[in-house]
Structure 1
Amino acid sequence: MELESCDIIKSQADWFNQNPEKTTSPESVEFVADLYRAIAAGLATDASSLKNTRAPFVACLSRSRDQLSQWRGYANGGYALGFEPELLESSLQLVTEDGVATPGEGDPYVAKAIYLSHLVGERVDQMVQDRMNDTIEAIKAQDSAKKDKAAGKFTDSVIEIVSTLKHMKFYEEHEYRIVSRCRESFFTPGSLGLIPRAKASYNKKAVQEVIVGPGAFAELRKASLERYFSSKKGDFGAVAVSQSAIPYREL
């Protein structure tokens, strides 16, 4: 993803060279184009370290309430949680593995996934424009601290966009993501080895619905959830429990 963003940034440099009359300062076109290329090259060089020290943690949600491909791909006949979006986002916070809040920079936020390449280009272009003045000032001032600060802001902006990219073939998932820039708080074993994790909490009353996935004993599973939430109204509030409308069974 970092390299895809680099290619988009380099394409902006070519655009400046080909359309000098459309820029606010035609006399500085070559300088700005070179700046775009330098930023892209620096980002590409930094890609490996970004993954280790600044890469985001992401949790995935969907706007599709009851979709067969989601059940097959992710839930395996399990359950889907339906959230009240505003309450979920406003109550998100990072916590330690023991559940102690760790407020501050890096707190989670909700972002919509980007599937269409032209939208990615527009966001990268706008981001570069937004950061251009800071970078030019730092270069002109010959101030290494300003240069580092400008480069850091630019990298953070690129990572913010990269965190929302997904291949167009997944468009039907209508994905949203909970994104956080932080250090891991614990690890879990998986097929890829030890997987770094960041723990977040949210207001339980943000849970509005639980959907029982297609599969065996769906009615019984629904009844057990209704009994559970009836005993936990003080924590969760009123939670609707329903069954998937999909007549699907694992073979």
Structure 2
Amino acid sequence: MKLCGMMILEIVSYKRTLNKMNTIYHYCSPESFFSIIQNQRLWLSSMDHMNDYMEKKWFYSTLKKYLYKNLDANCVDQFIAHLDDNISIGTPFACCLSKSGDILSQWRAYAKDGFGVSIGFDREKLDVYDGIIGNNLDPKHRLTLSDISYMDINVIECLAERILSRYSFIKKYYMNEIISTSKFNRYDKCILELISNIIHLNTTTKNPAFKEEKEVRLVYQTLDTGRYEYPESSSIKDLKYRISNNQIISYYELGFPKDAVSELILGPNNK
């Protein structure tokens, strides 16, 4: 299984910059700024209501097209069904931040046309798991902080090609051609790890058209297999709802310590 783990790490080689860039920024309106600072809470909203309509689709749709072009359709059908089953178990909620605290497009889009504030957070003091987004039973490992990867179609297809090369047993696995029980169990674990990494990439990959955002994403992956009761000390609280642009938006609140706020930048129109 060590070899399988090494393959996974090679395929999902997203960058970790905790030591190089500790400050990440959340753009917000003056009203949201007041609420965030007063309550020491960030809101993680359902990703079904993100501004980019291709959220959770950009990576997955390209991967799926490539697989159907290069694998037996019956095999892909079963793999996609397996993948969809795992995706449907968890619902991601996200709070978007940036590595830069002064981007004009971000002021316009998220900080009331420049009248708002960019709040700088020390990412280490947010004390969030730096790892793969997935359907982990441990709630601490379902709250992650990840840099967004900006991949064009060619890059995603190259990654898909490497997946097929490294996981050449996919067809045998889904077409029931593996006789050995020990080998099947070994491949089964590899497939589940691959699916976890695809879920991660699907949640943290965007079109390069958004590269200017330099996004870092706080993600909380809920599980629909049963409600987990968080202890009082937990930084994640119960699911809440609010109205935004005539829509009902579900969200979670993430608490943070006072010293996590390291910088405040006023918008260009904030006097």
Q: Deviations over 1:50-83 (max 9, x none)?
A: 5642243322222232111101111112111123
Structure 1 residue 161, shift from structure 2 partner? 0.9
2:203 and 2:240 mapped to 1: Cα distance?
21
Looking at secondary structure, tell me which structure has more helix per residue. 1
Counterparts in 2 of 1:63 and 1:84: CA distance versus 1, 3 Å? same
| DSSP-derived class of the 1:56 partner | strand
Which among 195, 198, 223 is matched to residue 155 of structure 1? 195
Q: Secondary structure at the match of 2:101?
A: coil
> In the alignment, which residue of structure 1 is the partner of 2:95?
59
Q: Which amino acid aligns with 1:153?
A: E
Separation in structure 2 between the aligned mates of residue 199 and residue 183 of structure 1, nearest angstrom: 17
- Which amino acid in the other structure matches residue 239 of structure 2? F
Write the distance in 2 (CA, Å) between the matches of 1:135 and 1:192.
46
The structure-2 alpha-carbon separation of the partners of 1:70 and 1:6, relative to structure 1 and needing over 3 Å to count, comes to same
Compute the TM-score of the two structures, normalised by the length of structure 1: 0.57
- The percentage of aligned residue pairs carrying the same residue is 21
2-side partners of 1:83 and 1:39: how far apart? 45
Quote how far apart the aligned CAs of 1:182 are.
2.3
Spell out, residue by residue over 1:193-242, the C-alpha distance to the aligned partner (whole angstroms, 9 max, x if none). Answer: 443334434444332211112335x2xxxxxxxxxxxxxxxxxxxxxxxx
Runs of 4+ in 1 over 6 A off after TM superposition: none
Contact preservation (8 Å) 1:92, 1:200? no
Aligned to 2:109: 73
1:197 to 251, 255, 266: 251
1:61 aligned partner, one-letter code: L
Instruction: Map 1:78-93 to 2 at 5 A.
Output: 78-85=116-123, 87-88=124-125, 91-92=127-128
Alignment of 1:77-226 (within 5 A): 77-85=115-123, 87-88=124-125, 91-92=127-128, 103-132=139-168, 136=172, 139=176, 140-141=178-179, 146=185, 151-183=191-223, 185-190=238-243, 191=245, 193-216=247-270, 218=271
The AA in structure 1 aligned to 2:211 is Y
8 A contact 2:241–2:251 mirrored in 1 = yes
Q: CA deviation at 1:119?
A: 2.9
Task: List runs of 5+ in structure 1 lacking aligned partners.
Answer: 14-32, 94-101, 219-251
Q: Distance in 1 between matches of 2:74 and 2:84?
A: 17
How does the TM-score come out when normalised to structure 2? 0.53
Residue 8 of structure 1: aligned partner: 66
Q: How many residues align?
A: 185
Q: For the structure 1 residues 43 and 134, does the alpha-carbon distance in structure 2 shift closer, same or farther, using more than 3 Å as the test? A: closer
- 2:143 match: secondary structure: coil
The one-letter amino acid of 1:159's match is: I
Asked if 1 retains the 8 angstrom alpha-carbon contact of 2:120 and 2:263, the reply is yes
Higher strand share: 2
Find the structure with the greater CA-based Rg: 1
How large is the Cα RMSD of the aligned pairs? 3.6
Unpaired runs of at least 5, structure 2: 1-56, 130-137, 225-237
Q: Deviations over 1:107-153 (max 9, x none)?
A: 3132333243333234444445555558856841476x947655543
